[in-house]
Homo-oligomer: A and B are copies of this chain.
Amino acid sequence: MLQSKLFYKTSKDISLEEKSVNAQLLIRAGFVDKLMAGVYTFLPLGLRVLEKIKKIIREEMNAIGGQEILMPALTPKENWTTTGRWDSIDVLFKLKGSGGKEYALGSTHEEIVTPLAKKIINSYKDLPLAVYQIQDKFRDEPRAKSGLLRGREFSMKDLYSFHADLADLDQYYEKAKEAYLKIFKRCGIEAIVVEASGGTFSKYSHEFQVLTESGEDIIFYCEKCSYAQNKEIAGYKAGDKCPKCGGKMLEGKAIEVGNIFKLKNKFSEAFDLNFLDKDGKKNLVMMGCYGIGPSRILGTVAEISHDENGIIWPVEIAPFDVHLLALFGKDSKVNEKINKESSRLQESLQKAGFEVLYDDRESVSAGVKFGESDLFGIPTRLVISEKTLAKDSVELKIRAGNEAELVKLNKIEKELGK
C-alpha cells in the first residue's frame, strides 16, 4: 500500500470531549473516526487490525469445533418477551417499524440461537454442538466515554455450545477457556481468568481481565498464583490471603475482554430446547455462552501497549508488518533513485510475505514521517534515504525498541525473517 493513497489523517490534538486514551491514540493515528459517543468508523488502518483480531478468533473457535453462522442484529420482540429480557436488559435498543412491529437490536443472541438450535437438535446424536458468529452488537449505554472499550455499537464474537449433560458442558467450557487464553496471547494481551457472578444458575462465570489503570472493573488477584475474583463477588479485601495458595491478594483496575458463562438450562427451558437421549427420554439441552469483543481487544491493546509517541502493535495484529519510509531530498535525480529502490524493496518484501506500507510522499518532511510512523505503531520501520543508499543499506528500527541499525539491502529479508 502506498501511503500517499491511504485514506487517513493523523492529528496532533483531538477534541477535548474524547477522554479515553485508546480512542485518543486511535483517532490521532487515523485508525478510527468518532461518529458519536460510543460509535466509531474503522478507517483502513484500524479495519486491518480489527480483521486480524477476527481472524485469530475464527481460527481458535474453529479449532474447538465452533461452526460460524451469522444471525441478524434486528430481532423480533417476541423472542425477548419469552425470556423476560425485553424488560430486564436495560441497555436493549428497542424500535418500532411499520405496522407497529417491535424489534430489539441484539445486545446478545441467546434469544435467537436457542430457538434456531431447537430446529436442528432432536437427538443426543446431534450433540455436542457449538456455533458462533462475529457481528455488531448494540447497547444503549447511558455513558459511553471509554472509547472502544464500551461502545453503543461494537464488534462481538459470541459462541454458544449445546450439550447433553453438565459434564460435557464442563469439559467444553474448559476447552473454550484455553482457546480464549490463546486468542489473547496471540493478540499480545495478558489476560487473567477471573471468577465473576454466575447469575442464578451457576456459582461463577469467568471473565478475562487485563490489568490497567483505565479499566472499569476492579478485581482481586493473587500475587503468587493465577487466582482472581471480580470485586463484585469477592468475599475478602486487598491484602487478604489467597484462598488457593495463601499468597497476598492485590487489588487492581482491569478491562474485561471476554466472558464465558455456563447457562445450563436457563434458555433451553425458556424455549423448550430438548433432545431425546439414548433411552428415548426428553431432556433439556445444557448450554454455555462465550463472548469476546474484537473491537474491545483493539481498544485494549491501544490502551496498554503505547508510549508517548503512539501505539505499539503486537506483531500478529499490526495493520502492516513493515513501515517503509523513503526520505526524499531536493535533487530530483536522487529522489528518483530513492523511490526506485524503495519500490523494489517493497515489492520484494511483499513477495516474501510481508505486508508493507510504503510512505512514498515526496513533499512531506522526515520529521512528519517519523512522527506518523510512531503513531501508527507498525512493528518494523525501514528507512531509505540518500545516506543509507550510499551504503547499499536501509535503516531498521523496531517500534518497541530504541535503537536503529543499518542493514544491507540484500540482507534485509533474512534479517526480518529472524
The answer, yes or no, to whether A120 is at the interface (CB within 8 Å) is: yes
CA distance A8 to B9 in the complex (A): 45
Question: Nearest Cβ distance between residue A43 and chain B, in whole angstroms?
Answer: 6
Q: Which of B41, B73, B141 contacts A116 (CB 8 A)?
A: B41
Near B by CB (< 8 A), chain A positions 22-62 give 33, 35-36, 39-44, 47, 50
Question: Nearest Cβ distance between residue A126 and chain B, in whole angstroms?
Answer: 9
The answer, yes or no, to whether A353 is at the interface (CB within 8 Å) is: no
Known contacts: A98-B140, A116-B33, A119-B33. The answer to whether A69 contacts B7 by CB under 8 A is yes
Q: Do residues B70 and A41 form an inter-chain contact, with CB atoms below 8 A?
A: yes
The answer, yes or no, to whether A152 is at the interface (CB within 8 Å) is: yes
The answer, yes or no, to whether A409 is at the interface (CB within 8 Å) is: no
Per-residue CB proximity of A229-264 to B under 8 Å, as 1/0?
A: 000000000000000000000000000000000000
Known contacts: A8-B120, A94-B95. The answer to whether A41 contacts B69 by CB under 8 A is yes
Nearest residue (CB) in B for A116 is B33
Nearest residue (CB) in B for A40 is B72
Q: Do residues A74 and B44 form an inter-chain contact, with CB atoms below 8 A?
A: no
Question: Nearest Cβ distance between residue A176 and chain B, in whole angstroms?
Answer: 17
Question: Nearest Cβ distance between residue A313 and chain B, in whole angstroms?
Answer: 18
For residue A47, which residues in chain B have a CB less than 8 angstroms away from its CB? 68-70
CA distance A131 to B7 in the complex (A): 8
Known contacts: A44-B67, A44-B68, A65-B5. The answer to whether A142 contacts B99 by CB under 8 A is yes
Per-residue CB proximity of A112-153 to B under 8 Å, as 1/0?
A: 100010011000000001010001101011100000000011
For residue A65, which residues in chain B have a CB less than 8 angstroms away from its CB? 5
CA distance A5 to B62 in the complex (A): 12
The answer, yes or no, to whether A93 is at the interface (CB within 8 Å) is: yes
Near B by CB (< 8 A), chain A positions 82-113 give 93-95, 97-99, 105, 112
Q: Do residues A43 and B69 form an inter-chain contact, with CB atoms below 8 A?
A: yes
The answer, yes or no, to whether A371 is at the interface (CB within 8 Å) is: no
For residue A42, which residues in chain B have a CB less than 8 angstroms away from its CB? 69-70
* Number of copies of chain A assembled together: 2
Q: Which of A7, A40, A131, A140 has the most CB of B within 10 A?
A: A7
Question: Nearest Cβ distance between residue A325 and chain B, in whole angstroms?
Answer: 19
CA distance A136 to B396 in the complex (A): 42
Q: Which of B44, B74, B97, B135 contacts A69 (CB 8 A)?
A: B44
For residue A138, which residues in chain B have a CB less than 8 angstroms away from its CB? 73-74
CA distance A74 to B5 in the complex (A): 28
Nearest residue (CB) in B for A76 is B36
Q: Do residues A71 and B116 form an inter-chain contact, with CB atoms below 8 A?
A: no
For residue A129, which residues in chain B have a CB less than 8 angstroms away from its CB? 7
For residue A67, which residues in chain B have a CB less than 8 angstroms away from its CB? 5-7, 44
Nearest residue (CB) in B for A94 is B95
Nearest residue (CB) in B for A142 is B98
Known contacts: A33-B116, A94-B95. The answer to whether A71 contacts B41 by CB under 8 A is yes
For residue A7, which residues in chain B have a CB less than 8 angstroms away from its CB? 67, 69, 120, 129, 131
Q: Which of B8, B50, B93 contacts A97 (CB 8 A)?
A: B93
For residue A97, which residues in chain B have a CB less than 8 angstroms away from its CB? 93, 140, 152
The answer, yes or no, to whether A75 is at the interface (CB within 8 Å) is: yes
9 smallest beta-carbon distances between A and B, as pairs: A95-B95, A42-B70, A74-B153, A98-B142, A97-B140, A41-B71, A7-B67, A72-B153, A9-B120
A-B contacts besides A7-B120, A74-B138, A95-B95, 19 pairs, CB < 8 Å: A6-B67, A7-B131, A9-B119, A9-B120, A35-B71, A40-B72, A41-B71, A41-B112, A41-B116, A42-B69, A47-B68, A47-B69, A50-B70, A73-B136, A74-B93, A74-B105, A74-B153, A95-B105, A98-B141
11 A-B pairs within 8 Å (CB atoms) are namely A35-B76, A35-B112, A39-B76, A41-B112, A43-B69, A44-B69, A73-B136, A93-B95, A97-B152, A98-B142, A136-B136
